[in-house]
Amino acid sequence: MTRITNESSVSAARAVLLGNYRSAPFVFSEGQGCRLKDVEGKSYLDLCAGIAVVSVGHCHPELTRAIAEQAGRLMHVSNLFFNDRCIELAQELVSRTPFSKFFFCNSGAEANETLLKLARRHHYEHGAKQRTTIITAQGSFHGRSMGALTMTAQPKYQEGMAPLVGDVEHVPFGDVAALRQRINERTAALILEPVQGEGGVVAASPEYLRAAREICDAAGALFMLDEVQTGYGRTGRFLAQAWSGVVPDACALAKGIAGGFPLGAVGVRPVLEKSLPPGSHGTTYGGNALACAAALAVLRIFDREKLVENAERVGTYLGARLEALAADATLPAAADARGIGLLRGISVASGFDPGAIVADIRKRGVLVSIAGGTVLRFSPPLCVTEAEIAEGLTAVEAALRAATRVATPGS
Ligand code: PLP
């Protein structure tokens, strides 16, 4: 019998899958908690969690059981009707967040498309048809569908995709003066990430978020948060908005919400409850019973295992360890530490190759990702322990120590 290897599986993958991803040459086939196994049986410590998605760890037995049971009872009826699991999930989210109503979809991009449409349609419904401008921040990431891509203010993602959606503007992230200058009677909404995840794990200051809320209120514009990466416990609060106390008019969620099962959501404050009238927006799979049952199981696991609290506690430990690495004068490849809770990063100093360092960390059996081109990002399952973080950082430190300066032109 031919042995399945990573190499043969990668060749098989490249033969049939489009080349739009830069997937590393690992093929995983099993997971448990914070560990993944590749097709050759080699185990890895997963500090990436499918980019902040696998919130309760791989194959949590309660989540697995909930999905299996729901699959045997009811999966999908479409939004021509209601289903019981969708109602229960919305009730749970209403009780845990500042939002009074929810809309469900299937991904982060879809949730952000919803924010965009919700903002424009809200003003249209209120007779302010000139309010169509959507403002987002430079360095942001909101997804890859055309609306979300236009909101994503990073040219590399937009290359070759023009024409983009009209009337979307970008401001420098963290710059209050720019908000004052740009938000006006034509602005439909300002949409920000509390921490720019893909942009390099860059946190907005509470003062910036408070100023943003005030400026939007004064101008009659909506203020919305994209919590696709930061939401659902990732930063040590159920939503990252809790750190600043700033309540947006609407908020996008996805990633960790169903522990790996595709689901997105938008929560709205009362002001927006009537802004998407019947027929104005929708998606076939949105709020299907199977995805909602998975999300309900995730919430039960959060409560019983105190995973949001764990994200804060272990996240503080991770942050302190990253600070120490960044401050270590014998590690010139490590620049600065950043992030909140279990969304953390350490930037790689210029002159070193972040891609080579991440590849070396992976060779040492630990999975982390790169954000913003130069930042080693840590977004582990929220059940990660200090011992697992310590184990992972041993590999990270070794790779940073082994990193050599890349030749720069003229050197
Ligand atoms: N918004 C943020 C803040 C994200 O980090 C991402 C994905 O990384 C998205 C939106 C897009 O989510 P999805 O890939 O599920 O469409």
Which tens digits make up the pLDDT trace of 115-126?
Answer: 999 999 999 999
Query: Of the residues 228, 234, 263, 343, which should be mutated to test ligand 1's pocket, given the most ligand atoms within 8 Å of the CB?
Result: 228
In 126-234, alpha helices (H): 146-151, 155-158, 176-182, 206-219
State which of 270, 305, 340 marks the end of a domain. Answer: 305
Number of structural domains the chain divides into = 2
312 and 286 in a single domain? The answer is no
Q: What are phi and psi of 364, to 5 degrees?
A: -85, 10
Give the mean model confidence (pLDDT) for residues 315-338.
Answer: 98
Q: Is 259 inside a domain boundary?
A: yes
Confidence of residue 409 (pLDDT cuts 50, 70, 90): low
Task: Kindly tell me if the per-residue pLDDT of 331 is higher than 60.
Answer: yes
- Please tell me the predicted confidence (pLDDT) of residue 1: 62
Note the pLDDT of residue 3: 80
Tokens of 85: 């699991």
Tell me the sheet residues that pair with 253: 265
> Is 358 part of a structural domain of the chain?
yes
pLDDT by residue (tens digit) across 123-137?
999 999 999 999 999
**Looking at residue 183, what is its pLDDT?**
98
Whether 317 and 349 map to the same domain: the answer is yes
Listed range (4-13, 191-200, 222-231, 286-295) with the worst mean pLDDT: 4-13
Check if 198 has its Cβ closer than 6 Å to any atom of ligand 1: yes
Pair (218, 106) in one structural domain = yes
| CB within 8 Å of 343: residues ≥ 6 apart | 52, 195, 197, 201, 229, 230, 234, 235, 315, 377, 378, 379
**Interacting residues of 294 by C-beta distance below 8 A, sequence separation 6+:** 63, 66, 67, 70, 258, 259, 261, 263
Determine the residue type at 246. Answer: V
Q: Please tell me what DSSP assigns to residue 163.
A: S
Out of 240, 270, 305, a domain closes at 305
* Cβ of 131 below 6 Å from ligand 1: no
Q: Is there a single domain that holds both residue 316 and residue 291?
A: no
CA distance 220 to 131: 10
CA 79 to chain centre: 26
**Residues 290 and 141 both lie in one domain:** yes
Alpha carbon distances (Å) from 383 to 36, 52, 305, 386: 15, 12, 8, 10
Q: Whose CA is nearest to atom 7 of ligand 1?
A: 143
pLDDT for the residue 157: 97
Do 154 and 126 belong to one domain?
yes
**Domain region containing 178:** 74-305
* pLDDT reading at 410 higher than 80: no
What's residue 403's pLDDT? 98
CB 34 within 8 A of CB 383: yes
CATH of the domain at 324: 3.90.1150.10
Whether 197 is in the pocket of ligand 1, judged by its Cβ within 6 Å, is yes
Residues 300, 316 within the same domain: no
Q: Is residue 152 part of a domain?
A: yes
- For residue 107, being part of any structural domain is answered with yes
Q: How confident is the model at residue 411 (pLDDT cuts 50, 70, 90)?
A: very low
* C-alpha of residue 40 to centroid of ligand 1, in Å: 31
pLDDT over threshold 90, residue 326: yes
Q: What is the CATH number of the domain that holds 134?
A: 3.40.640.10
Do 33 and 113 reside in the same domain of the chain? Answer: no
The model carries a pTM of: 0.97
Is pLDDT of 82 > 80?
yes
pLDDT one-digit tens code per residue, 203-222: 999 999 999 999 999 999 99
How far is 212 from 73, CA to CA, in rounded Å? Answer: 45
Residues above pLDDT 70, as percent of the chain: 99
Residue 411 placed within a domain: no
- The residue out of 305, 325, 342 marking a domain boundary is 305
